[in-house]
Chains A and B, each alone.
Chain A
Amino acid sequence: MYIKRPIEPMLWLLFSAGGVMAALVMPMTLFLFGLAFPLGWLAPPTYDRLLAIVSNPLTRVILFVLCSLSLFHWAHRFRYTLYDGLQIKHLNEVINMVCYGGAVVGTLVAAYLLVMVP
């Protein structure tokens, strides 16, 4: 099947995959690190434990995919929020640059930080 604008399906696929990952992983993680630990409801895991988790190659890959896809999810959704919510579709190119460019930069930063984990 011939598709005229092949970029849109790809962006939507990244958006959807990111949406699924974000929905599955983020609520619990954010509950623990954002609320439960700082407010003293639970004792945070020890440094060694966390280092062991993060330095495992499999978790690194998962974290990288999570970061990258979530950023593309943000980029796609936020782009349309700006279009529709503020009616600034004429700034199309700037918005695309900021959103998808931001996601690409974020992906690179995530890759760098995850490679640098000892």
Chain B
Amino acid sequence: MSERITLQVARYRPERESEIQFESYELPCPKEWVVLDGLNHIKDRIDGTLSYRWSCRMGICGSCGMLVNGEPKLTCATFLSDYAPGPVRVEPLRNFPVIRDLVVEIGDFMGKLARVKPWIVRDSEKPLSEGEYRQTPEELDNYKQFSMCINCMLCYSACPIYGLDPHFIGPAAIALAQRYNLDSRDQGAAERMQILSEHDGIWGCTFVGECTKVCPKHVDPAGAIQRYKLQSAVEWVKAFVLPRAAQ
């Protein structure tokens, strides 16, 4: 087992350079260290100017997504020793503009998330006196998988379609829309369908399937998108066969 490992970290300091540069740092490599521990070691002991995002370091906040050797990964869940003897390349998430070093601009994603109305939409709320909206375990199972998303954006980074066409609404947002559509308490499916059936919605996806592979929470956004397409196609046939009933 190698005791030390080299991290090649992408640096972008807009006040100094206009292209991304790589800097190498030699670190200790205890077997319990994840890539994020390595970055923290650099920031604390070697170079305090290194910028990156992190928060919970336990795979739930979704802030520490980066490319590790080209693969979108949560750096808090990626062990350094798996890459021994290295070197390990750490880069900012692909398909996003880089603000500084490993920090990317996520405004586009945040906007898209809000566009799909990821909350429970009701035609009318029932009065409090009637109690809560109850759900059976089966009804919960329908959408539970899609509710596991932590908005880490690894799927956007893995999706070549999003890279090619930034208007594409993208995997996580569509999976999240599906999470609410499949919720028995929700009545907003028609509103969301209007947004997602536009050409930069579900139809931009060509089922590369990478989003599902990189998802740290096994949400399967690719599956959500294909199911959405199928559902939209079924609605289309229904509207074609029974034009009045669909109104």
A and B touch in their complex, CB below 8 angstroms: yes
Q: Which residues of chain A have a CB within 8 Å of any CB of chain B? A: 1-6, 8-10, 12-13, 16, 80, 83-84, 87, 89
Q: Are B164 and A87 in contact (CB under 8 A)?
A: yes
Q: Min CB distance, A80 to chain B, in Å? A: 5
Picked from B164, B236, B239, the residue with its CB within 8 Å of the CB of A84 is B164
Q: Is B197 an interface residue when CB atoms closer than 8 A count as contact?
A: yes
Q: Are A3 and B164 in contact (CB under 8 A)?
A: no
Q: Are B203 and A3 in contact (CB under 8 A)?
A: no
Question: Which 10 A-B pairs rank lowest in CB-CB distance, beginning with the nearest?
Answer: A9-B236, A9-B233, A13-B233, A8-B203, A80-B206, A1-B235, A9-B232, A1-B190, A3-B197, A4-B197
Q: Is B66 an interface residue when CB atoms closer than 8 A count as contact?
A: no
Q: Are B236 and A10 in contact (CB under 8 A)?
A: yes
Contacts A/B (CB < 8 Å), 29 sampled: A1-B189, A1-B190, A1-B235, A1-B239, A1-B246, A2-B194, A2-B247, A3-B235, A4-B194, A4-B197, A4-B198, A5-B197, A5-B199, A6-B236, A6-B239, A8-B199, A8-B203, A9-B229, A9-B233, A9-B236, A10-B233, A12-B229, A12-B232, A13-B233, A13-B237, A16-B230, A84-B160, A84-B164, A89-B164
Cα separation A87 to B163 with both chains bound (whole Å):
11
Interface of chain A, main secondary structure: helix
Q: Is B3 an interface residue when CB atoms closer than 8 A count as contact?
A: no
Count chain A CB atoms within 10 A of each CB in B160, B190, B198, B236 and give the residue with the most. Answer: B236
Cα separation A1 to B228 with both chains bound (whole Å):
13
Cα separation A6 to B199 with both chains bound (whole Å):
11
Q: A10-B236, A13-B237 are in contact. Are A1 and B199 (CB under 8 A)?
A: no
A residues within 8 A CB of B229?
A: 9, 12
Cα separation A89 to B164 with both chains bound (whole Å):
10
B residues within 8 A CB of A80?
A: 206
Cα separation A55 to B189 with both chains bound (whole Å):
48
Cα separation A3 to B194 with both chains bound (whole Å):
6
Q: Is B193 an interface residue when CB atoms closer than 8 A count as contact?
A: yes
A residues within 8 A CB of B230?
A: 16
Q: Are B160 and A3 in contact (CB under 8 A)?
A: no
Cα separation A89 to B193 with both chains bound (whole Å):
24
Q: Is B165 an interface residue when CB atoms closer than 8 A count as contact?
A: yes
Q: Are A3 and B206 in contact (CB under 8 A)?
A: no
Q: Min CB distance, B115 to chain A, in Å? A: 14
B residues within 8 A CB of A13?
A: 233, 236-237
A residues within 8 A CB of B194?
A: 2-4
A residues within 8 A CB of B236?
A: 3, 6, 9-10, 13
